[in-house]
A and B are shown apart, each in its own frame.
Chain A
Amino acid sequence: MKVLTRAHKKIKDLHPHEAIAPGTGLCAGCGGLEGLRLGLKELDDDFLICNAAGCFTLLSVYPFTPLQGSWLYTTMGGPVPAAQGVRDALDIRMRYRGLEEKENLQVIVVAGDGSSNDIGFGATSAAIHRGLDFIYFCYDNEAYGNTGFQLSAASPYGGATQTTPRTDEHEAGTEVNKKDLFEIWKAQKPVYLATVSPREPIDLSNKFARANELKGPRMFICMSPCPTGWGFEPKEAQLIAKLAVDTGIFPIKEYFEGEVVHTVRPRKRLPVEKFLERQKRFRHLFEPHRQEETIRQIQNRVDDYWRQYE
């Protein structure tokens, strides 16, 4: 088994270099942007981002780009096949047309959870099947955030979205469980697959450093606290991200060479309501009356998950 070294041990080990300049059109407190910023530090600047329609489309608004590397806006369901075309074209030019190796690009897809779980899901599966050499960065804010927070297949049970609102008939709001994209992608055995959180920068950075050494499909799901959609103050983004990890709601893990390892384990899991109660999307679970059953189901699901690994 190939042993990959952990490059970073503490925050000050992280590269000072920034591949994304500040001052973009994204929301203050966007967890996903912090995740991408940290991730790109581990790659060199010779990258191209194929972007799906979503919040991050606002990174590059004509005539500006905050990126050191290249950018191609695609469609909501098309960033991965666009990455395929770029990868193939570079390979062709290097193999047959004398393009120098130093002109090569790391091809990255940046897509939200809606694109990843729904409209771009099939095309992504196809690219993993083809063994496309790329990095996939899914910023998971658990809904269609850019359009104002509607249900996606990543929206959690018990959360309210604009299209699954809490009503007397539907007390929980969202009544289905979040799609387990990690397990689905894992079934296709990509070269590397990891979940990351902006609140775990060392872990995140090490995972990107790992991915950078590998070739093939390298998939990331980044927990992306969303102040506007989840309903919290931007300054609390890091706290919310921390609680997602500490309650065990968002497991931090990686899949590599057939094994799943939890790279950050909450020592003693906090009750899920510590995470839920701070967000407007879950407020109906506590007001006007406490929805014990819904909260219990959310807790049970988290406990059932971790029981597999205890």
Chain B
Amino acid sequence: MKTKIMLTGNKAAAWGARMAGVEYVPAFPITPQTEIIETLAKWFADGTLQGKFTNMDSEHSMFMAAGSAGATGVRVFTASSSQGILHGMESLYTISGWRTPMVIVNVSRALATPITLEPDHNDVMSTRDCGLIQLHAETCQEVFDFILMGYRIAEDPEVCLPVLVNMDGFYLSFTREPVLIPDEEAVRNFLPLYTVTQPVFQASRPMARASAVFGGATYTSFKLQQELASRSAEKCFNQTAQEFEKYFGRLYEPVEAFHLDDAEYVFVMSNSFATKGKSAVMKLRRQGIKAGLLKLRLFRPFPSEAIASALGGHAKVAVIDQNLAPGMGGITYPEIVTSLYDREDRPEKILSVIGGLGGKDIEDQDFMAIIEHLDKPDMQTPLYLYDEGDASGFSRLQQIAKLKEALS
């Protein structure tokens, strides 16, 4: 028996951890993630969940504890966001190198400076090269499902890496959507309670882990093992997704194609704003414009082949990055272009679009502007979704401050 309940993205994440049978949650609060750990704290406190919830002193400490607990043989979950991810960055690199399975939820929020609460993807993109497996969720159901799938992938002996499930702060973390929660038995068939397959710390098997190495060749051996493990996670994702479908009826491909077949214009998007993109695609199609959308789901390992196959043969592609690498532009754009480089059917035009920074909405007219831009013979890239209205709004803010200054 399954239940359908209304859950925020955060609650869906907590439910995902609960149904996965997590045993250990080291935690540290940060907006907009806090609801996740509050929910789990309550479930550990009232006995709903068996194990331990430990209030940590920082994200750096939290990820360290998560990693070492994973190396000691328990199923670990934790969550963070934004500055917390940056504060814990050293630990994230460290624990992925320890090759300890766990699931981490990141609730995306833009990075300082200036400090803000609303989402973009610079936080999760900063973890791009850590060695984590990354799944990006559009809906509350995906958040829940990806956590269950995440443990299967993380704990696969071929992978043994932390899995990060990403969702957008506010737009998804605080939005209630119907979520199907399968019953415990069905979940256990798909994801049994944790049994250790790798060596873990306990008295009968002393071991040295993460010892120092001298020499680039030894270092490279370890890093290449990590690279192979991460690359093997794509196959593992696909197998896991097929099994997931068998049990729960929902199939997740590494990328999701939306009205792609005959599309002349394709938006590449990820996370919750993909819903806005899909809505725009429908509206554009009603106007006779053949638009489509490719949603990125598995972001690490990067499913180059799946992306290239999906985008090959389409004339005009716009990669919408809700992140900014100043001096370079969008972060996913070059990865997608690289995937297409040696294909003969690669798109005529691939536009980089920077939008949605700090939670700035991407509206229907923005998608129209992208189409118009793609149609320009002298198309310049990147396109920043920031117009005169935004600029005058900013001037207005400054003007208010100046007026106050004059009055005082």
What is the total number of residues of chain B having a CB less than 8 Å from a CB of chain A? 43
A residues in contact with B210, CB < 8 Å: 72-74
Assess whether B207 is interfacial by the CB under 8 Å rule. yes
| B57 close to A85 (CB less than 8 A) | no
| B60 close to A78 (CB less than 8 A) | yes
Bound CA–CA A279/B215 (angstroms): 34
The residues in B between 48 and 78 inclusive whose CB is less than 8 angstroms from any CB of A are: 50-52, 54-58, 60-62, 64-74
Q: C-beta contact mask, A164-183 vs B, less than 8 Å → 1, else 0?
A: 00000000000000000000
Assess whether B393 is interfacial by the CB under 8 Å rule. no
Assess whether A75 is interfacial by the CB under 8 Å rule. yes
Q: Across the two chains, which residue of chain A brings its CB closest to B215?
A: A62
Q: How far is the CB of B252 from chain A (nearest CB, A)?
A: 30
Assess whether B26 is interfacial by the CB under 8 Å rule. yes
| A91 close to B209 (CB less than 8 A) | no
**Contact A126-B201, Cβ < 8 Å, known A70-B207, A75-B90, A85-B26:** no
Q: Across the two chains, which residue of chain B brings its CB closest to A78?
A: B64
Assess whether A63 is interfacial by the CB under 8 Å rule. yes
| A81 close to B211 (CB less than 8 A) | no
Q: How far is the CB of A77 from chain B (nearest CB, A)?
A: 6
Assess whether B80 is interfacial by the CB under 8 Å rule. no
Q: C-beta contact mask, B192-210 vs A, less than 8 Å → 1, else 0?
A: 0000000001111011111
The residues in A between 187 and 225 inclusive whose CB is less than 8 angstroms from any CB of B are: none
| A96 close to B50 (CB less than 8 A) | yes
A residues in contact with B391, CB < 8 Å: none
Assess whether B225 is interfacial by the CB under 8 Å rule. no
Bound CA–CA A130/B57 (angstroms): 10
Assess whether B212 is interfacial by the CB under 8 Å rule. yes
**Contact A88-B65, Cβ < 8 Å, known A96-B50, A102-B203:** yes
**Contact A96-B51, Cβ < 8 Å, known A67-B206, A81-B56, A84-B26:** yes
A residues in contact with B69, CB < 8 Å: 85-86, 88-89
Q: Across the two chains, which residue of chain B brings its CB closest to A66?
A: B208
Q: Across the two chains, which residue of chain A brings its CB closest to B57?
A: A126
Assess whether B214 is interfacial by the CB under 8 Å rule. yes
The residues in A between 79 and 119 inclusive whose CB is less than 8 angstroms from any CB of B are: 80-86, 88-93, 96-97, 99, 102-105
A residues in contact with B98, CB < 8 Å: 72
Assess whether B91 is interfacial by the CB under 8 Å rule. yes
| B209 close to A72 (CB less than 8 A) | yes
Assess whether B237 is interfacial by the CB under 8 Å rule. no
19 more A-B contacts (CB under 8 A) besides A88-B65, A123-B58?
Answer: A60-B212, A61-B212, A62-B218, A63-B211, A64-B208, A67-B208, A70-B206, A70-B207, A75-B94, A78-B64, A81-B61, A82-B67, A85-B64, A85-B66, A85-B72, A86-B201, A88-B24, A92-B24, A93-B202
Q: List 29 A-B contacts (CB under 8 A).
A: A46-B203, A62-B218, A64-B208, A67-B206, A70-B209, A71-B207, A71-B211, A72-B208, A72-B209, A73-B211, A74-B64, A75-B60, A75-B90, A77-B90, A78-B60, A78-B64, A81-B26, A81-B60, A81-B64, A83-B68, A85-B67, A86-B68, A86-B201, A96-B51, A102-B203, A104-B203, A105-B203, A126-B58, A126-B61
List residues of chain B with CB under 8 Å of any chain A CB: 23-24, 26, 50-52, 54-58, 60-62, 64-74, 90-91, 94, 98, 201-204, 206-214, 218
